[in-house]
Every structure is written in structure tokens, then in C-alpha cells.
Amino acid sequence: MAYLFTSESVSEGHPDKIADQISDALIDNFLAFDAESKVACETLVTTGQVILAGEVKSNTYLDVQHIAREVIRKIGYTKSEYMFEANSCGILSAIHEQSADINQGVDRASKEEQGAGDQGMMFGYATNETENYMPLALDLSHALLKELANLRRENAEITYLRPDAKSQVTLEYSDDNKPQRIDAIVISTQHDDFAEEAAMLAKIKSDLVSILIPRVKAKYPQYAHLFNDQITYHINPTGKFVIGGPHGDTGLTGRKIIVDTYGGKGAHGGGAFSGKDPSKVDRSAAYATRHIAKNLVAAGVCDEVLVQVSYAIGVAKPTSINVVTYGTSKVNLTDGEISKKVEAIFDMRPYFIEQRLKLRNPIYSETAAYGHMGRTPEKVTKTFSAPGGLTKTVEVELFTWEKLDFVDQVKSAFGI
């Protein structure tokens, strides 16, 4: 019998995502001027206020207020009526030095023996139901909000949009786990005030269905066949959504971990990513397991896979590596045997993850909205400024964990 599955996304203007983007902007600036920086930075945003807290071990000094304001401005909080505005919001920093007790478990005389920055388990997932090996419902949820943000910035076809928004997509799957159609779409978007509420709701729903949806279908033609006349649309289902952003709801770093990963598919170890340097395996090992999962599916080992790794704090070698193929394996091996081969191909000690994926670079701001996984690897040039007129320009490679650079090695190991 057919079944339904749902995933959600949130926009860059959502309060929790504002917090993530500020935390990751701080990470990038620390790493740009000191690649060995150890950072765990949390952000809280509320009405007219930003609070920064966390631990840092670094040889550089940053103007954290300036960095936070630039992030808020780029997102689009630039009007006083939003009650949260880049130039006027208060910013309080309670960042302090990292605990020496934690650092002694990470740093080693030999870099290769660098210990894990914390205990825990991390998961990576991949499926061949999309071209980027991501779950379809999440991919569509992200796509809707990316295009909504484009429409807001263009301020032409739709002129009343504000930065905060959420989306949700429900798909119908067949008995053999193939997506058949979109059953329901939910979009809640912040907007300017209207004189008449009923007309406002009708206008927003009409615009999103007649302008946003066709743009998504045109930009993502591989998904166009899933749209149909029977889709149930819930557009701003609570009604008026003028009060939003940090004025409507306090935002915190790390509260959108399912949006950041696989939309509820696979599994999650519970650790957030944003605000953490790559010595924290919550982040680096989650990227590494995604890298493994994607290369396994692309190599034809299986159609769908979940990869788990776990660590003890201060210990380099993982305590476990496990692979689950959900019965979709194309090779004559058990999941346990596949796990052993994966362990031989991919060195999952923290230092080697950092080196393999080039994680000691300022590459994290781009991850902090619309998902850390399923993105397109690319090289970009970025410029950073520090107090005293110091600037640094670096070329970096984004989303290295999405590269299919181990496919040939995986095929060789599995005899494909």
C-alpha cells in the first residue's frame, strides 16, 4: 500500500538559521586568520538582541559585533519595523577561552593521533532517488525556500515578502519505495502588513501557487512530473504572519539539525554542526559519513545506505563503524562485511577526515542555510577583515564531502 513521507525546511531568515549563520561566520573568520583555531560558538537572537557565547582557542582577534551585523544585513533584516535590524540590534559577547581539559584530549604531539573533540555517534545517509543522492522531500522543501528568497530579493513579481519562512513537502511513495507525486505543500512566509486580512491571504496563496511553484518546476525540471492538480496547499495556514524573525520567536544555534541533514530519513546522532570547528566530530564525522554514503551509492554498492561512526573523546580511532543498506545491496556481502571494507577504504580518524575533506578552511558560512548535505562542490574566493586593517583573501573549496572522488576506489574494493 502506498505511504506518505514528509520533510521540512526553513529559510535563511528563520531565527534559528540566523543564529547558525552568525556562528558559522565566526568559525570562518577564526579559521581564515588561524587555521588551527578551536571554536565552539553559540548564538541566541531575540527582539533587537544578539547574544554570543562559547569557547575559543585562537591566535587571532575578531570584531564579532561587525561580523554578526554583516550576516544579519546579508540575510535581509534591514528595516526597523522588523524589530530586529542589522545596524541597531544590541550584540553581547560572552565568548571565553576554551577549556584546557578539553584541548588536552584533542591536541597530540603527532597530528595523526589527534583525538576526537567529543564522544558520540554521527550518521551519513544517501539514496539514489535524486541526482544529488538526497531524500526528495527535503530537496524539494529546500528548493521552495531558495526560490522564495530569490523572489524576495528581486522584489519585482512579489513585493511584500519578509525574511522568515518555513516549508514542508509531503510525498506519496509506492510499495517499492519510489516517489510518485507530491501530496501536500506547506509554506508559511513572513510578509508586510495588508489593510485587509482576507485579501492578504488570498493574494499570498495565489502568488505562491502561480509564481513560486512554476519557478521551482522550471529550475528543477527533474521534479516537474511530481507536481499535480491534486496537491493540497497550506499557505500561511495560521493566517497573518507579519511578526516574525527573532521578534516573533527566539533563535538558537543548532536547533534545526534535521533540516541541516536528511529531513528525517536515515538517522541523526543529535549533535549540531554550526559554530563548531572540524575538531568537533559532531561536524567533521557527519560530513565524512555523508561522503562515504554518497560514494557507496554512486559506485553501485547499494541504492540506499546509512553509515554510522562513533567516538570516545580524546581518542583518534572510532569506537565503531556500521553500514546499513536497507536490503538494497547490489554486492554479495552482508552489511557487516560491507562495513569492514568501508573501514579499510576511509580513514575515519579526525585528523585524516580534516585532511581528506579540507576542513581547516573557512568554508562553513555557506552550509548554515538550506542544508549541509546535497550541495554542489565549488571553488570560491573569499576575503576576510580583522581589526587593525588586516585582510586576507583565500580560495577555498566548498562542500568537499559531496564530491564523488572515491567512486573508483569503492568499485575496485567491491569488485564492481
Residues annotated in the binding site, as ranges?
14, 16, 42, 55, 98, 164-166, 240-241, 249, 255-256, 272, 276, 280
pLDDT at 97: 83
pLDDT of residue 195: 85
Q: Which amino acid is at 49?
A: Q
Q: What is the mean pLDDT of residues 50-58?
A: 96
Average pLDDT over residues 272-300: 97
Query: 334 with 324: CB under 8 angstroms?
Result: no
CA distances from 238 to 24, 142, 393 (A): 32, 21, 46
CATH class of 15-107: alpha beta
pLDDT of residue 118: 86
Average per-residue pLDDT in the chain? Answer: 95
Q: Residues 75-115: pLDDT tens digits?
A: 999 999 999 999 999 999 999 987 655 555 566 556 777 88
CATH 3.30.300.10 boundaries in the chain: 3-10+135-244, 15-107, 120-128+254-414
CATH number attached to the domain at 3-10+135-244: 3.30.300.10
Q: Which residues are annotated as a binding site for L-methionine?
A: 55, 98, 249, 280
Each residue of 104-138: pLDDT tens digit?
Answer: 556 655 677 788 888 999 999 999 999 999 999 99
Q: What is the pLDDT of residues 17-51, one digit of tens each?
A: 999 999 999 999 999 999 999 999 999 999 999 99
CA–CA dist 51, 45 (Å, integer): 6
Binding site residue list for Mg(2+) = 16
Non-local (6+) Cβ contacts of 216 within 8 A are 140, 143, 144, 147, 223
Per-residue pLDDT tens digits for 180-203: 999 999 999 999 999 888 899 999
Q: How many helices (H) and strands (E) does the chain have?
A: 12, 13
Strand partners, 98: none
**What are 302's three cell numbers?**
547499494
What does residue 242 show for φ and ψ, rounded to 5 degrees?
-90, -45
pLDDT digits (tens, 9 = 90+) for 326-375: 999 999 999 999 999 999 999 999 999 999 999 999 999 999 999 999 99
pTM for this structure? Answer: 0.96
Mark 315-336 as b/e (b = at least 16 C-beta within 10 Å): ebebeebbbbbeeebebebebe
User: Which grid coordinates belong to 405?
Assistant: 572522488
Return the CATH fold of 120-128+254-414: GMP Synthetase; Chain A, domain 3 (3.30.300)
- Please state the residue numbers annotated as binding site for ATP: 14, 164-166, 240-241, 249, 255-256, 272, 276
Q: How many other CB atoms are there within 10 angstroms of residue 277's CB atom?
A: 27
H helices of 243-395, in order, are 245-248, 257-260, 281-299, 335-345, 350-357
Strands of the 232-235 sheet, one edge to the other: 3-10, 161-173, 179-191, 232-235
- Using a pLDDT cut of 90, give the percent of the chain over it: 91
pLDDT digits (tens, 9 = 90+) for 198-219: 899 999 999 999 999 999 999 9
Q: What is the DSSP letter of 211?
A: I
